[in-house]
Amino acid sequence: MIREAAYGRIYEIAPETYVGSVTTVLKYGTPTPEFLMKWMITESGGSYDKHLNANSEASEVGTAVHELIEGILAGEVIEITDDPMQYVQGRGYYPTYKTSMQIRKGLQSFMAFWNHNKPEVVEVETLLSCSDTQDGDLILPFAGRCDMIAMIDGEKWLLDVKTSKVVKDVMNYGIQLTMYKLLYDRANPDSPIDRIGIIWAKKDFAGALPPKSVLKPIEYKFVPDMVHHVYAIFSQCYDGFTLGKPRLRDKAPRIFSLDMGDN
């Protein structure tokens, strides 16, 4: 991954061959659903800064839950303390006990899913890309990291963990999972994905136990036809490439002294 990319996430999948991440393609290639737009405006009170701060907390909680799930799957015993700063950075907001509770409930929801399905994990955090070309163009010009490939009741599932408030019938999620499946199946033609879905690590349920809605994967349809249209819009709207190379963030010196001269 190109760490200094100015826009979204960019991967170099082969020497001098750059592609946007699946989530970056979706960000610039799909519209914001109306229900989500209404929620963002309502929650922020019309303040862009407040919206960014709220989105930052949700993003950091989601990242923390993902990372802690990786530890659990690796056999670690995870104990969540009341200090949220051990798990998030608080970029643009002040983490509180509520932040820690969201992480705990997200993990509790995941464990409910795990205990209900007893999945057999095939792969975790798999980086998916494809450098195959046709007529000089990449066949699948994007890359991404899939949370989990697992066997459930004899079927091979491609699964992504989400802590979002809404996880069912979200267009972006269906296309994201489809893009991952396209990449995975291309690399594994003899063992393709059977089904795709979301593990709902619900972080805001009321009561002591997660709801039944988290127990099974939230299944999505495979929609490969949508990928072509989304990528076409992404290509028109995205401003992160210049002559096939990613635009990088502006650089400035980090060390200053009177001996620097004019450098």
Kindly report, residue by residue over 34-44, the tens digit of the pLDDT: 777 776 777 67
pLDDT at residue number 57: 85
pLDDT at residue number 16: 85
Question: Using N-to-C axis directions, what is the helix angle for 171-187 and 22-29, rounded to 10°?
Answer: 140
Kindly report, residue by residue over 169-225, the tens digit of the pLDDT: 999 999 999 999 999 999 999 999 999 999 999 999 999 999 999 999 999 999 999
Distances (CA, A) of 100 to 140, 141, 164: 39, 38, 16
pLDDT of 75 over the 90 cut = yes
**Domain layout of the chain by residue ranges:** 10-246
The letter for the amino acid at 119 is P
pLDDT at residue number 251: 75
Identify the residue whose tokens are 């502006």. Answer: 250
